[in-house]
Amino acid sequence: MYYIVTGAAGFIGSNLVKALNDRGVTDIIAVDNLKQADKFRNLVDCDIADYMSKEDFIEKLNGGMFDGIVSAVLHQGACSDTMETDGRYMMQNNYQYSLDLLNFCQNEEVPFLYASSASVYGSGPNFKESREFESPLNVYAYSKFLFDQIVRRRWHKRSSQIVGLRYFNVYGTREQHKGRMASVAYHFFHQYRAEGYVKLFEGCDGYANGGQLRDFVSVEDVARVNMHFLDHPSQSGIFNLGTGQAQSFNDVAVATINALRAAKGEGKLSLEQMHQQQLIRYISFPEQLKGKYQSYTQADIGALREVGYKEPFLNVEQGTGRYVNYLLSKAK
């Protein structure tokens, strides 16, 4: 029996493959599109049974090749570029692909864990898994929102576990291929090492410079939550996956810089001291993001706690510190 991980060479997908390996699971079919070839590096230290391109996988899935041999599907494959303007591509790649897998898993009575997104909430301010709080701002968010709606419509007829995880701002290992879509922690790390300072957006929507608030969640925690649901196949639902605590972009910058300073034996600095030394600088807020930007997100994780997930989440200082040390080890 095989585990199928889509988007397996991507950021979260490769971390899930590694998490399965850490449990001794190697019968994994990794599905991805390696048009961006450098993503293969995310799987170099992982053990899998087979790799398939997305197109070959869908053809074989529809042809019945996987009938009766799948233990679970962890569906992370999607276009995650929130600036993508090709709506047809986005709906085919995110919505229809997910629908094909949902149909397969329900027909086969196989657990289906899939990546939703906190972007479905739009500009907030309420982030609870309920229809009245959902108002996507771009076609990426709409593709995720629409699939969640289909899941809800089919809820009472489900034959096996369905878990949608609304990822908030995920950061951590194996995201180097994402380019401009990589986390701010990743960008701050490289900016500081290259230029000696980091750049943040000026304030918008009433927030001070660098003061916009997001729920930053480590990919380590994301993997742990996915493994929790694999261990509890009776639990289904759409769940927020964040820390439950919003922190500012300034907080991420301070944590990144201080972790890099600590690695060189230098002392911690406060945000004010970093301003004084121009280690943190602000740039104009991009025109193309106005009206499409979430200046505040904070996951309501009540539903996740209610189904029994009790583990604490890493805060920005903890998670960023660990991530910086990982990036330094790779740089060496």
Helix (H) or strand (E) holding 6: strand 2-6
Q: Tell the burial category of 6 from Cβ atoms under 10 Å away from its Cβ (0-12, 13-18, 19+).
A: buried
CB atoms within 10 A of CB 325: 14
Which one-letter DSSP state was computed for residue 286?
P
Active site residue 323: no
Q: How many CA atoms lie within 13 A of 2 on its CB side?
A: 17
Instruction: Collect all residues with Cβ–Cβ distance below 8 Å to 319 and sequence separation of at least 6.
Output: 171, 172, 216, 217, 218, 220, 221
- Spot the catalytic one: 18, 54, 128, 178: 178
SS3 state at 205: coil
Instruction: Give the whole-angstrom CA distance, residue 272 versus residue 145.
Output: 40
Instruction: Give the whole-angstrom CA distance, residue 237 versus residue 239.
Output: 6
Single-letter amino acid code for the residue at 220: E
Which residue has 């750049």 as its token pair? 199
Whether 293 and 82 have beta carbons less than 8 Å apart is answered as no
Instruction: Give the whole-angstrom CA distance, residue 169 versus residue 119.
Output: 10
CB atoms within 10 A of CB 206: 9
Active site residue 140: yes
Question: Among positive and negative, which fits the CA dihedral 314, 316, 318, 322?
Answer: positive
- Spot the catalytic one: 121, 140, 142, 323: 140
Helix (H) or strand (E) holding 51: strand 50-53
Instruction: Give the whole-angstrom CA distance, residue 255 versus residue 268.
Output: 9
Supply the residues annotated as catalytic: 140, 178
